[in-house]
Amino acid sequence: MLGLVFSLFAIFLLVFMLYKKVNAHMALLLAGLFLLSIAGFFSFFGVEGFHTIVSKGSLNLGFFDIFQVVNQKMSSTLAGLGLTLMCIAGFSAYMDHVGASYALFKVFEKPLKSLKSPLLLLIVAYFIVQFLVLFIPSHAGLALLLMVTMYPILVRSGVSKLSALSVIAICQYIDHGPGSGNVIMASDVAKIDPAVYFVNYQLPTTIPIIIAVGVAIYFCSKYFDKKENFVFDSAQIEAELAANAGKEEELKKPPKIYALLPIIPLVLILGFSSVLDSIIVLMGFSTAEEVKAAANSAIKMNVPVAMMISTFIAIVFEMIRYKSVVETLNSIMIFFKGMGHLFVITVSLIVCGQVFASGLLSVGFVDTLLHYAEAAGFGVLAIIIAVSILLAVCAFLMGSGNAAFFSFAPLIPNIAAKFGVETISMIAPIQIMTGFGRCVSPIAPAILAISAMAKVNPLQVVKRTAIPMLVAAIVNIICTYIYL
């Protein structure tokens, strides 16, 4: 009970620091160190419910061990999950450098322009965006790209500004695909391959969610446009777009073949994974025993290797395009700078989140909560819903789905084990839910950025995204109930 009191105080302290605009990294780290200090003090005196903060590699002094936890979390994260995420970021940075993301969007530009019905155009644009996010796994990055490519097409075709912004604001409401940071984190915690996690555990839930949200966007846009008496004014639209003229010209406009570059990692990851083996068995080309026997000698591919191979293919494309060997070879620094940038922003956040999670575990927060949950008769579904709502609220308050998920993901295996279910059964629906809160947060970086570009209040944008995200949450819970 005492551990629960300290945990709730630490969570309150965390929320208070975030409210006071303290950096999320430092807020999580301080809250975690506070809990570790409490655990170290009470465990030294043998108080029940408090655990030793370092199981292996203790420095034999409680104060030092608090920071030894940080050291251990950083060492393990950088060697595994951190390297994977940094390679993804490096590849993404290089794709921006060569303009491949722009080339990928251009593939869909002509079909979009051919649609005459504004609402139909909006829905088609939404589904295209949900395809693009597989290859551009950045909420803010994709949103800004869409603002200078898709947004002008939508508003010139009769779609209202806020309807267009609602689709762009939720561009990454689901973190899915083996290139997503949250997917990598979830698959790492669940100890399964990211490709298997994406195909076997995400798609059966995300496909119904995407369809349901598409329907919700259609009716919400129709309702709000009518309520706000929207009237298409082409002259006004052209004047507003002219005020932001030059943005599209700043983007690199590479050959159309560059649209293939962002797709290469996904092909490599899915092509050389057990997902392909499952498809072969289902189609009857081989038996499960034959596939299993061949698995030991089969080509294997992990995410970092896929990203590095794809980056070097892009470098070859650039050499052919510019006929410059030395300058193109030197551009590899874009890849490494992208890796470094992600370490500063995301990997360090994961470490701080893991320290906070270690603090919660050390003071017995999870054990106490599970004890009360069992006494109250809560089942695994109720726990999943409760944790999902908690993380969605945290994402809303922080404006970041990563910060919320990275903080609580390490706790999931203990909770799952207590209820006798696999970690993947709990972490998948929780991971999917986290992004919903970010897309209704008026302080989310992507929503702030697109609102500023369109010169509208962020609250007007999140008013349009709230109902679709509620629909997404409901469908996610229904799918969890079905698949659990």
Q: Which amino acid is at 50?
A: F
**Residue 42: pLDDT over 90:** no
The reported pLDDT for the residue numbered 286 is 52
Q: Which residues contact 312 (CB under 8 A, 6 or more apart)?
A: none
Q: What is the DSSP string of 131-183?
A: HHTTTS--HHHHHHHHHHHHHHHHHHTT--HHHHHHHHHTTTSS--STT-HHH
Q: How open is the CA angle 257-138-426, to the nearest 5 degrees?
A: 120
Lowest-pLDDT range of 15-29, 60-74, 246-260, 403-417: 246-260
The reported pLDDT for the residue numbered 417 is 85
Looking at mean pLDDT, say which of 135-144, 385-394, 430-439 comes out highest: 430-439
pLDDT band at 212 (very low <50, low <70, confident <90, very high): very high
CA dist., res. 328 & res. 332, Å (int):
8
Lowest-pLDDT range of 59-63, 109-113, 275-279, 360-364: 275-279
Kindly report the length of the chain: 484
pLDDT tens per residue, range 105-161: 888 888 888 888 899 999 999 999 999 888 887 788 888 888 888 888 898 889 999
Q: Which of 313, 346, 260 is nearest to 25 (CA)?
A: 346
Q: What is the DSSP string of 406-423?
A: HHHGGGHHHHHHHHT--H
CA dist., res. 480 & res. 47, Å (int):
38
Lowest-pLDDT range of 200-214, 259-273, 450-464: 259-273
**Residue 48: pLDDT over 60:** yes
Q: Which of 10, 17, 54, 13 is nearest to 35 (CA)?
A: 10
Between 438 and 277, the higher pLDDT residue: 438
Q: Which residues contact 326 (CB under 8 A, 6 or more apart)?
A: none
Q: What percent of the chain has pLDDT over 90?
A: 22
pTM of the model as a whole: 0.81
pLDDT band at 366 (very low <50, low <70, confident <90, very high): confident
Between 25 and 315, the higher pLDDT residue: 315
User: What is the distance of C-alpha 277 from the center of its chain?
Assistant: 27
Mean confidence (pLDDT) of the chain: 84
Q: Which residues contact 220 (CB under 8 A, 6 or more apart)?
A: 166, 464, 467, 468
The reported pLDDT for the residue numbered 218 is 94
Q: Which of 178, 207, 101, 151 is nearest to 483 (CA)?
A: 207
Q: Which residues contact 330 (CB under 8 A, 6 or more apart)?
A: none
Among left, alpha and beta (phi > 0; psi -120 to 50; other), residue 158 is left
**Residue 428: pLDDT over 60:** yes
Query: 176: number of CA atoms within 13 Å, CB side?
Result: 26
pLDDT band at 406 (very low <50, low <70, confident <90, very high): confident
Q: What is the DSSP string of 173-225?
A: SS--STT-HHHHHHHHHHTS-HHHIIIIIIHHHHHHHHHHHHHHHHHHHHHHH
**Residue 249: pLDDT over 50:** no
Cβ count near 386 (within 10 Å): 14
Residue 191 in tokens: 């100890």
Lowest-pLDDT range of 172-181, 247-256, 291-300: 291-300
pLDDT tens per residue, range 255-298: 889 989 989 988 888 887 766 555 554 455 555 455 455 555 56
